[in-house]
Amino acid sequence: MKAPTMLSRLKTSPFVVVVLLCSFVLVLSACGEDAGTDDLLAQGGQVDENGKPVLGGSGWSEPAGKDDAVQGRRGLPVSVDSADTAVWEVRNAWDDTDTAEAREAGIAWGENSGLTWEEKYRAWIDSMERIDAESYGDTFMLTTPWGKELPAPSLECAEVAMFMRVAFASWYGLPYFIEGYDRHGRRLYFGHFGIRTKDGRWSNMPSFKTRYADYTDQADAFVNGEVEWPRDEKLAGLTIPGSFDDEQKMLEPNEDGEYPHAGAYFDEVFLNKRVGYFMRLHLVYFGSVNLADSANTFNLTADAVLPGDVLLERWQKTGIGHTLIVMRSRDLGTKEVDGEEVPQLEAELASGSMPRRQPKWDSAAASKRYFTMEETGGWGYADLGGGIKRWRQAKNIDGRWTNVVPEDSMDAFINSNDHETIAERPERFEQILTELSGEEKMQVILGVIEDKRAHLRNYPASCAARIGREDAFKDLYEVAAELDMTRTEVDAKYREFEDYVFAELVYDKSKTCCWNSSTSQMYELAIEYNLNRVEDPETGMCRDVAVFKARDDGGDGFELFREYAASVGQGDAWVDWSADESCPQAGVSADTEAEHGWAPICEVYEDVSARL
C-alpha cells in the first residue's frame, strides 16, 4: 500500500488556482428572515474553523450490499411537496426521457434528444462558454432556459457546485434535496419542499410558497419580448447571510459605485424568486463536508468522470475542505501501457474561493495535478470523503423522497466503505489523464504560482494564497531538479519581489491569516515601502525586505505599514486589522513566518530586480 505523501494541514493545492479556504465571518444579525425570531444562523451546525455554521454530516454509511447502497437513505414523505414551505413544484423525474417536457429542446440539447435530465444537466455544464473573469483567469458564462446569460457568480468553492445543481433542478421542476444535522442532532432537509425536519418547518425558516413570488408563468412572455424581466427588489438587496464578500462585480454598480450582492444575482437568474431566497440559506448551511456525505453524493470510478461531477479535497472528517466542479471531460482514445489499452481523457475543473470570487476555470494540465493529489481521496485520506463524486438523485420510492444513485451510474459506483478502491483513484487518474513533459509541468506550476500572486495582489493578507504559492514552488523545485536546475537557479529565474514581501506564515500562529479585508491598495503600499528599503541608499547593498505581517509593535501589529501609508498621503487607504474569520490566534503579539526553502532575496536580487 502506498503511504500518504502530503501533510494533512491547512493548505491549498499547489496545482489549483483557487484558494482552499471556503469560509466567511457570520454576522448573525444579517439573516433577517423574520424579525424578532430566534437567531437563525445560530441554529446551524458546529461552527467550522472559519466561522461558518455548516450542518453536520448525516452519519449514514452505505450498506455493504450494492442494492441497498445505491438506493440510498429514505427521506421525507412526498406529501411535503404541498406544504407552505415548498420552493418549487416537481414536474419531472431525473430519469424521464419521453414525457412531453422531456422531449422539448432545452439550453444545451435539441428536441427529442432522448436524454435523461441527468444527462441534460451534464450537457448544460459542458456547454458553458469559457470567458475572462472579472479579476483574473477564466470563468464561465451561465446560461438560463430563457436566453439570459450572465458571467458566473462570485461564490465559495462548495457553493458553486450547490448553486449549479439547485439552479438546474428548480428551472426544470426536478426533485432535489440535501441533508445534514443541526447542533441539536435533528436531521434536516433542504430541498424543493423547503427547509424541514421530519416534524415540519425547521426553526423559523420561511414558508417560501406563501411568502415569496413565483413568476415562472411569465417565462414565455419574457422570451417573446412581451414583458420585462420581473424583479424582486427585496431579494436584489440581500446578501448571503453573514457575508461581507459576496459582491457581484459582473453586475452593474449603483450610482455610488457599490456593487450588488448575491441576492441581486439570484434575482437575475430565477423567475421563481422563492429559489433566490432559498439559495441564500442553502449556501450558508452546507459546505464540502456535506458534499462528501454519502447520503448526498457517491464515489465513482476515475474512468467515469463527466461534466457536473465534483472533486473534493478532504484532509479531515469534519470542517473545511475544497470543492471543484468538472466543466469538461473529453475522450482522447486509448494508449498502450504495459500491454494494456488504457483510456486517455482530458478533464477541466473550476471552483470558487474565499474570499468569494467567480469560479476559476483551470486548464486540463492544471486540473490533472488536482485529480492526482492524495488529499482527493488517495492513500491515507480515502476514509475522509474526498475524491471524485457525483450527485445522488432525489426519487420517489414508496412515497418517500430518497437520494439514489442514477441508473446510468451503477457500474461506476464505489461503496464509500471500499477505501482501497477509493484510494486507487488518484493513481488511476495519473494513468488516464494525458501526461505532461517536464517543461509542460513547469508551465502548469508557474501558472498556479501566478494565480496565487494575483490573489495576493487583491488580498495581501491571504495566508492560504501564500501557502499555495510556496507549495507550488516546492513542486517547481522538484520538477526543475529533473531538468538539472538547482533551487537557487529556480529562484533566480522565477521568483518575484512580491514573493518575499508576502512570505508564507504559519497559519495557526499568525493573526494576519484571519484578516480577509486587506486590499489591493495595501498591497501596493507594502511593495512600495519595500522597494524603497531593499537597497541601502548609502551603500547600495541589498537588505532584507520587511514582510507584510503582524509585528510586536504595541498596536495591532501593522504600525510599520500604517505609518508609511500616512507618510505618503494614503492613510485613508489603510484598513485596520480585524478578525474576519474564527481566529484563535488573534492574541499573538507577532506572526510566525514559516521555514522558507527559497534562496534569500539578496542572493538572487540582481535577477529579481531585473524583472521589477
The per-residue pLDDT for range 295-345, each reduced to its tens digit, is 999 999 999 999 999 999 988 877 677 899 999 998 888 888 888 899 999
Residue type, 611: R
Query: Residue 215: is its pLDDT beyond 60?
Result: yes
Q: What pLDDT is stored for residue 554 in this prediction?
A: 80
Q: What pLDDT is stored for residue 42 in this prediction?
A: 59
Distance, CA of 299 to CA of 277 (rounded, Å): 31
What would the pLDDT profile of 530-540 be if each residue is shown by its tens digit? 999 999 988 88
Residue 442 and residue 426 share a domain? no
Q: Which residues contact 188 (CB under 8 A, 6 or more apart)?
A: 55, 179, 180, 181, 182, 195, 196, 197, 202, 285
| Chain mean position to CA 512 | 22
Confidence bin at 54 (pLDDT 50/70/90): confident
Query: Residue 486: is its pLDDT beyond 90?
Result: yes
* pLDDT average, residue stretch 152-165: 96
Q: What pLDDT is stored for residue 580 in this prediction?
A: 85
Residue 444 and residue 381 share a domain? no
Query: Residue 267: is its pLDDT beyond 60?
Result: yes
| Range among 363-367, 390-394, 437-441 with highest mean pLDDT value | 390-394
Higher pLDDT, 244 or 295: 295
Cell of 380: 491515507
Cα dihedral sign for 249, 252, 257, 262?
A: negative
Residue 171 and residue 245 share a domain? yes
- Total structural domains in the chain? 2
437 exposure class (CB count in 10 Å sphere: 0-12, 13-18, 19+):
exposed
- Residue 19, in any domain of the structure: no
What would the pLDDT profile of 162-185 be if each residue is shown by its tens digit? 999 999 999 999 999 999 998 888
- Among 430, 446, 471, identify where a domain stops: 430
- Residue 24, in any domain of the structure: no
Q: What pLDDT is stored for residue 43 in this prediction?
A: 62
Query: Residue 148: is its pLDDT beyond 90?
Result: yes
Query: Residue 13: is its pLDDT beyond 90?
Result: no
Cα 242 to Cα 116, 257, 283, 473, distances in angstroms: 38, 22, 11, 35
Confidence bin at 32 (pLDDT 50/70/90): very low
Q: What pLDDT is stored for residue 481 in this prediction?
A: 92
Residue 510 and residue 553 share a domain? yes
Cell 513542486, residue located: 475
Query: Residue 3: is its pLDDT beyond 80?
Result: no
Residue 548 and residue 570 share a domain? yes
Q: Which residues contact 314 (CB under 8 A, 6 or more apart)?
A: 288, 289, 292, 321, 375, 376, 377, 381, 384, 385, 386
- Residue 12, in any domain of the structure: no
Residue 301 and residue 212 share a domain? yes
Question: Which residue range(s) make up the domain with 570?
Answer: 438-609
* pLDDT average, residue stretch 395-411: 97
Residue 510 and residue 421 share a domain? no
Residue pair 608/601 in contact by the 8 Å Cβ criterion? yes
Higher pLDDT, 136 or 244: 136
- Residue 126, in any domain of the structure: yes
Q: What pLDDT is stored for residue 59 in this prediction?
A: 82
- Among 395, 430, 465, identify where a domain stops: 430
- Residue 519, in any domain of the structure: yes
355 upstream amide cis, omega within 30 of 0: yes
Percent of the residues in the chain that have a pLDDT greater than 90, as a whole number = 73
Mean pLDDT of the chain: 89
- Residue 528, in any domain of the structure: yes
Residue 453 and residue 382 share a domain? no
Task: Let me know how long the chain is.
Answer: 612
- Among 412, 430, 448, identify where a domain stops: 430
Residue 450 and residue 426 share a domain? no
Confidence bin at 82 (pLDDT 50/70/90): very high
- Residue 335, in any domain of the structure: no
Residue 468 and residue 413 share a domain? no
- Residue 486, in any domain of the structure: yes
Q: What pLDDT is stored for residue 44 in this prediction?
A: 59
Instruction: Taking each helix axis as running N to C, give the angle between helix 273-285 and helix 157-171, from 0 to 180 degrees, rounded to the nearest 10.
Output: 150
Query: Residue 15: is its pLDDT beyond 70?
Result: no
What single-letter DSSP state applies at residue 3? P
Q: What pLDDT is stored for residue 353 in this prediction?
A: 85
Q: Which of 122-126, 229-233, 383-387, 563-567 has the lowest mean pLDDT?
A: 383-387
Residue 503 and residue 425 share a domain? no
Residue 248 and residue 292 share a domain? yes
Residue pair 133/124 in contact by the 8 Å Cβ criterion? no
